[in-house]
Amino acid sequence: MLRPKQAKKEKIQLTRDSYTKARKLFSYMKPYRLQYGIGWVFLVFSTSIGLIFPILLGQLLGTGNGTSTSMSEAVKAIDLTNINTVAFALFIMFGAQAVFSYFRVVLFTNVTENTLRDLRSDVFNKLLHLPMDFYNRNTVGELTSRLGSDITQIQETLRTTVAEFFRQIVMVIGGILILTFISWKLALIMLATVPVIAIIAVFFGRFIRRLSKEAQDQTAAANGTAEEALTGIGNIKAFTNELISLKRFTTAINEIKRLNIKSGLWRGLFVSFIVFAMFGAIVFIIWQGLLMTEGPNPSLAKGDLYSFLMVTLLMAASIGSLPDFYASIQKTIGATEKLMLLIDEVSEQDIFTGQLKPVISGSLRFEDVRFSYPQRKDIEVLKGISFDIGSNQTLALVGTSGGGKSTIASLVLNYYPLSGGKLYFDGIDSSEIDLKHLREHIAVVPQDVILFAGTIQENIAFGRENATVEEIQEAAKQANAWEFIQSFPDGMQTQVGDRGIQLSGGQKQRIAIARAILKNPTILILDEATSALDSESERVVQDALDHLMKGRTSIVIAHRLSTIRNADRILVLNQGTVAESGNHEELMQLNGIYADLVSMQMTR
């Protein structure tokens, strides 16, 4: 019932190389640069209107005092002392900004979706062509996260965040210039108070959010403790550990209380800070501004004061939002770097560079083959393996776990480059044969069959995409699968569910066999295809396998030795070497490892 400590949130560490790799994203945007450029023009227009809006709104609030303003003198074309004129100008601006914003959003969305479609395609294409060693080093969850969360992060940034970040920067810089133009004295007062307070408020808010997050995580941990206790209530009662479980839960909820009280104290300080500092700063600026509007010779018109206040509020909001936008862009750079690292990975085609496309009849020869998995180079799995098998013969691989049986099958498929020695197909070095051409002649029926979500027909057709319905049905019949397929109401159109969960183990095996029959391979690899089945299912599946193996070179990794008695050759592997070799009768006469294995299985 001990729970592992929760992993700390990953902190984004960006280097110069991170930015270099992130810039590769622009190559995906290049085909759509015209649309993106037009979108930026609309963004500039809408942002400029956003700066003018608070000025005119301030003038509207300050009209009617009969005082000439510096802003009205600056814009002679508009009579800013007339309420109707200013209101009309504001409506015109709103209409223009609505149009500009619409086209900006549409163009940015189109460019983003086209860019991400191309990026997704390239990343997935790369994933499909990466070597098996890559998947030994990376989890599927992590890779799907690259296609999911990382792409979503980039999508949000390209579509919205970049535009808003640019808008807020323009608002801050433009706002400072406008405020300086209206009243440089009041601008200095504002710059000494509002931006500083806004930045402090942002970091204050982040600290409080972090405390709240810690409390939420602790709550989740406490709930997990309770769930485990209630799920395992039988064990708790049997070992009379009720007090221990209660103590663990009490410790967790006390920590929740402490964190929430601490968060409440800081939240109270934050609210007090906002009320006093932020609103106090605004009151101070208004007070100073009103002093400038009074007297026989006021240095500031009321309309300009209102404009000043509107721009100041806009700037405060922009300054407060900048850190979040910047953090989002940083995350996007990190996400883009990870995707570009995937795209830059060495693919199988870069490792296996063979170009020959010979006729492959199925003869196979291992010549002093040595192999170590790339992530464990210090451990030699195969230690100078040598054997050969003729076309249409059956080779069985037996031995203890870790002896190298599955490794030999992986090398036949060219999943990994050899560490030493040679592998020949029909006398031709495997390194000289085109990888796709070679695998087109090989089919695998594994112990743990993976079916894809879809129909039975689609899963069988995975063996040969252009197969006709009649050919698919014939393959199902030869695999002894047609009878159970016909028993389903939807027949061949029956959905198999995620990873084939709606079918039994024997049914999945027969679908896999039908798929292999449809491919019509020259070389067949059976990786303990019946070891996980009950006796009845094994009989039916073995009958289908016997039919499949006829006229093909077969490599059988065997767990139940009764299934390989008729193999042309049996290799007994022990710690990466061939301990014994021969057919069933020859190996039984040796009275060695193979004979011992057969004897053990017969006495079970």
At 341-370, the pLDDT tens digits run 888 888 888 888 888 899 888 899 999 999
Distance CA 305, CA 57 (A): 11
Distance CA 303, CA 86 (A): 12
Provide the pLDDT confidence category of residue 72 given band limits of 50, 70 and 90. very low
CA 171-176-177 angle, to 5 degrees, is 100
Percent of the chain with pLDDT over 70: 88
Report the pLDDT averaged over residues 295-319.
73
Sequence letter at residue 196 = V
CB distance 417 to 360 below 8 Å: no
Question: Going by C-beta distance under 8 Å and a sequence separation of 6 or more, which residues neighbour residue 554?
Answer: 393, 394, 395, 523, 524, 525, 526
User: Looking at residue 66, what is its pLDDT?
Assistant: 44
11-183+323-351 belongs to CATH 1.20.1560.10: yes
Report the pLDDT averaged over residues 374-395.
88
Query: Which pTM value belongs to this model?
Result: 0.72
Distances from the Cα of 586 to the Cαs of 146, 555, 563, 592, 597, in angstroms? 54, 19, 17, 11, 14
Pairing of strands 569-574, 394-399: parallel
Taking all residues of the chain, what is their mean pLDDT, rounded to a whole number? Answer: 80
What superfamily does domain 364-602 belong to in CATH?
P-loop containing nucleotide triphosphate hydrolases (3.40.50.300)
Taking only the tens place, the pLDDT of each residue in 410-429 is: 899 899 999 899 999 998 99
Provide the pLDDT confidence category of residue 516 given band limits of 50, 70 and 90. confident
Taking only the tens place, the pLDDT of each residue in 119-164 is: 988 888 988 888 888 888 888 877 887 788 888 888 888 888 888 8
More confident residue, 570 or 564: 570
State the DSSP code for 11.
P
Of 148, 60, 45, 142, whose CA–CA distance to 96 is shortest? 45
State the DSSP code for 504.
-
